[in-house]
Amino acid sequence: MTRTAVPGDGAGGRHATPGRTARGLNPAAVVPVVCALAAVTAGAGLTPPGNAPPLPPGTPTGAPVPAPENDSPPAAPTLPGPAAPTLPGPAVAGAARAPAVPFGGHRRSYAPGALRPTGTRADVDARVVALYRQWRAAFVRTHCVGAHVISPDAEVPVVGEAQGYGLLVAAYLAGADPGARELFDAILGYVLAHPSSRDGDLLAAEQDAYCRDVNGGDSATDADLDIAYALLLAHRQWGSRGRHDYRVLALRRIAAIARSEVDPVTHLLRLGDWATGSGELARTSRTSDWMLDHLRAFRRATGDPYWDMVRRAHQRALSNLLAGPGAGTGLVPDFVVDTHAAPRPAAGRVLESEHDGQYSWNACRVPLRVGVDAVTSGDARSVAAARAVTRWVRRATGGDPAAVSSGYALDGTPLAAGAHPAFVAPLAVAALSDPTAQPWLDALWRHLVATPVSSHGYYAASVQLLSMIVVSGNYWVP
């Protein structure tokens, strides 16, 4: 997403503009993306020409990802996908340590009654690993400091959200990918090299094709939440005695989120560290940032009941939306406004598009957010939210994932045709908590397994991969 000036917006004149709605819908907007910092290009003999920097010489190589560890090891994944790129840099101290929660080990159980796709765990796990290999080969680049995840379907080549996704994926795939910790540390190196211009313990959310911070160099809350959470995962997986002290970095970022991205009055999440003051955007929140499992993890890591208060504020806001505008569908809007009074769906465009007050390219992740909290915490409010959207969408589509629309008005009126993976995949996570949804879950899983990664669709592929990690039973809260 890009940023543009709006006088009197209460955010220093900077806010996000349409980008998410272009994902997968505007091929003409897709740009070739690669970073080439001087120190790297000089050593590699690269000279980036014009606005289309070259890929590094040679074909990316890397050790293949083996089948996940399990009591019954699955066959090697059958879906195609080139090898992941080799990551630069020295070996990580302590990198040989086995992950504490290896992918495929299923050492953490979900809440009682949670569903899983029909089939063997070995086969389900192998499908996730196969998609991961495609995702890593398509979107991980190593042309700047460390490694980063590119976003060819966003309006800037590199976005913070993507780095958060990359760190999460690396931490969860540890045990299936022997290079997972190396990948994690490489992306973390990139994150640490790009501090926000407003709060240096947060990430500058946007970079250009040469990895230079652009559009103010300030933060995006969803990226910082995922990064902090991923650091807690890494501390649990590998400990903090290697190249980075994951726990210290996590606590520092959690503290920065509290001071710069949580409204001190409402305790609702702001859009970023730039959304301050008294303007409209300072009183706007993105529903897909309401990551309840992350807030629970922050409470556990810090021991601070403040994070319980923040979590409860978001649960109240979500319940009010589902009892009001989303009653009967379980749908919520991309953005809510008037957070200091009575949070309500945005009326038309407030930040990204005319669909900001509808279930669109941000809110499509909410079934993933509430669904994962439902299966990991068993919280009755999250379970109810997951079941509400599941039961409505099953009726609306006749149980056919291909009939899912790419966006809805909150009353369930479709906005766009086409079952985009970013809209389909999170619904599978929500379905895990509905005991009547086994046929629907199986249909969704078959649909996702048959959906390969598009090299132009980082957003869809990332949401799909994260959702499949959850559905496979390999998600856990640190």
Coil, strand or helix at 359: strand
117: Cβ contacts below 8 Å, ≥ 6 apart: 124, 441, 442, 445, 471, 472
In 10 A of CB 380, how many CB atoms?
9
Q: What is the residue whose two structure tokens read 């959310």?
A: 205
Is residue 476 within 8 Å of 122, Cβ to Cβ?
A: no
Coil, strand or helix at 101: coil
Show the tokens assigned to 51.
């606005």
Coil, strand or helix at 422: helix
Q: Just list the catalytic residues.
A: 161, 222
Coil, strand or helix at 203: strand
Q: What are phi and psi of 154, to 5 degrees?
A: -100, 175
Q: Is 96 exposed, middle or buried (0-12, 13-18, 19+ CB in 10 A)?
A: exposed
In 10 A of CB 107, how many CB atoms?
10
Q: From residue 100, how far is each of 71, 96, 126, 175 by CA, in Å?
A: 16, 12, 20, 9
Is residue 222 within 8 Å of 64, Cβ to Cβ?
A: no
